[in-house]
Copies of this chain bind each other. A is one copy, B any other.
Amino acid sequence: MNDHDSAHLNKWEKFPPPEAVVEGDSADVYFHRTIEILRKEDLNPTAVMEVFPNAPGIICGMDEVLALLDRVLPEARREVWALADGDAVASKEVALRIRAPYQSFGLYETAILGFLASGTGWATASGECVQAAGAIPCISFGARHVHPLVSGRMDYAAVIGGCAGCSSVEGARLAGIEPSGTMPHALIIVMGDTVKATLAFDKYIDQSVSRVSLVDTFKDEAEESLRVANALGDKLKAVRLDTPVERGRVTSELVKEIRARLDQAGHHGVGVFVTGGITPDRIRYFIERGAPVTGFGVGSYISGAKPIDYTGDLHEIDGKPIAKRGRIPGITASPRLRRVM
């Protein structure tokens, strides 16, 4: 082993490769057949595979890839270069290069590309929101919009992409932060009144958790905001606006009015947290109109981001440049890559 960054290793530990992946359960069946043929032909050349995305973005999923490679590549015959989670990557830029006996990694092409595709898709979408929001924090709230087997990974990628927090317990643990959250409509409906629900929240939940009250359940947001602010006083960190489409969604004018009414009643310290269909365009809409938002909760823009497809191409076999039609044979010059294994 060589000059790679030992700090990376620690991160890989967070992502023990799932056994089903190691066993090839998630692989395309034709890779099983390929390995079978090559074994029977006794062909196991040292091969170089280069992996690149088909669109620009922010990389995520690389630590999962490296944890898998660390497990399956023979230590004595492996060289791996990679960009890191959180790095920007250009379209067609090589993000990962593996030089190893082909039989040791051929089966994992499916999983390697898959880790990167989903992770990069989520992190990139998160980065777009964060860039639009500038100094205003964004929180990933989309766990509910994606399969629970990957909702933690999604939230982790959102943090890698720049989000200040996320709502799922697993995502927060992977990211090494506390999970964020306010309260669901369900709590208010079960308790029958927003003020009652907010007071109960304040009574039972640890003081380290911010008090943020959801104010659009039963009454007009302005009326409800004043009710909860009057009830909780200084302890109220923010009101959360999540006005449904049927009531016109949250608008910049609504945020300004809530701010003005809270200020007129002396609640200068209560923030306004906005959720519901938040996208970079919606974030810019609020900012350009000067709406005093103190935080955005982003849902399906991140969790439903289209994966950014990656491609893995062989460029060298036993030291000889080679490539399929449409690609240029031999190692691609990639000065940003770092040797990690």
Contacts and interface: CB of A to CB of B under 8 A. Distances in A.
Interface of A: 18, 20-21, 24-34, 36-38, 40-41, 43, 45, 47, 49, 61, 102, 106, 109-111, 113-115, 117-119, 121, 141, 143-153, 167-170, 172-173, 179-192, 197, 200-201, 203-205, 209, 216-220, 222-223, 243-249, 251, 253-254, 256-257, 260-261, 264, 299-300, 303-304, 306-307, 309-310, 313-314, 317, 321-330
Given A205-B36, A251-B248, A330-B264, A43 B148 contact: no
Number of copies of chain A assembled together: 6
B309 A300 contact: yes
B243 A248 contact: yes
A170 B152 CA distance: 21
Contacts of A114: 143-148, 151
A247 B248 contact: yes
B324 A113 contact: no
A309 B184 CA distance: 17
B102 A186 contact: yes
B144 A317 contact: no
A179 B180 CA distance: 41
Contact of A41 (B40, B118, B191, B329): B191
Contact of A145 (B147, B223, B309): B309
Give the one of A151, A200, A251 with max B CB within 10 A. Answer: A151
Nearest to A102: B190
A243 to B, nearest CB: 7
A262 B47 CA distance: 23
